[in-house]
Amino acid sequence: MEKVNERGETLEQFLENYDDSMYRHPSNTVDMILMTVDEGKLKMLLIKRKDHPFIGDWAMPGGFVNFDEDLDEAVLRELSEETSITENSYFRQLYTFGNTDRDPRTRVITTVYLSLTPSSNIRKTKADDDAALAGWFTVNKNVTVMEKMKRVSVLTLENEEYGVTISYEITDTAKENYIETRSKLLSEECLAADHIKAVNMAVDQVQHRAVSTGIMFNLLPKESTLREMQTVYEALIGKTVDTGNFRRDVRKMLKETGHTKKVNGKSVKLYAFDPMYSCLRENL
């Protein structure tokens, strides 16, 4: 028997009588934090806005979601407009930002996606219609103060081609049962709207969970050497690590492919990430 509500309506009758003008409709966008590792450096794609709002500010690439479009479809469309990434590349929802005053045009709720891809997947980037420039920025986040209840870091995004440096001081303060995060601009150039929140969140994600969750391997070819894996890992965390310890821990997540490649005249084994290795007892 078909279910009815307290007014005796079936779903079809309910939808026929439903008035969607009872509620104002917010606009919805998707933004993407696209990261790669190139020449041993962690990079992020940013665009410079050429129109209001936030004219002249650097921002995550993204756009409005079409009414008949799923969120994942929207972000794939945006990714394809900026890169040669396919549906097989890694991306996932990072966070949804919806403060009422985040965009002066109207109520805009954005879902931010984190995408990681090998540098070989990135074709020459060009600015789209609403961007003056597009470029890859080297990302660094370094702790300057570490106390029992507070951590202060400096997050820097730098593009040598355009001579642009964007820098923020990030302060994480322990409250009763959560961490309060605040940012302060240190440079003349800035990120648009509340994009520093998303960028900081993404950097923390890749620095602290890139290996333990396996997402780091999306920055590598499917078959890689242990040295290539360590180079990418060190680019993510911004420092060198002990080779022996790294290889001991990372091997637990890998499977041998049976293939090799020549490195400095020697045959070196190639490994692949084992996606079934999802329950880690140790994190790097």
Give the model confidence (pLDDT) of 147-156 as tens digits: 999 999 999 9
**pLDDT class of 90 with cuts at 50, 70, 90:** confident
In sequence order, what are the residues at sequence separation of 6 or more whose Cβ sits closer than 8 angstroms to the Cβ of residue 280?
212, 252, 253
Contact between 91 and 114 (Cβ < 8 Å) = yes
Q: Where do you find CATH 1.10.10.10 in the chain?
A: 223-273
What's the CA gap between 118 and 13, in Å, rounded?
51
Fold (topology level) of 27-209: Nucleoside Triphosphate Pyrophosphohydrolase (3.90.79)
Give the model confidence (pLDDT) of 230-243 as tens digits: 999 999 998 999 99
- Give start and end residues of each alpha helix (H) in 137-224: 195-209
Q: Token pair for residue 244?
A: 């022996």
- On the question of pLDDT at 251 being above 60, the answer is yes
For the domain bounded by 223-273, which CATH number is listed? 1.10.10.10
Please list the helix, strand and coil fractions of the chain in percent, rounded to the nearest 5, in that order.
25, 40, 40
70 to 95, 110, 125, 127, 138: CA distances (angstroms): 16, 13, 25, 24, 31
Q: What is the mean pLDDT of residues 259-272?
A: 95
Q: Where do you find CATH 3.90.79.10 in the chain?
A: 27-209
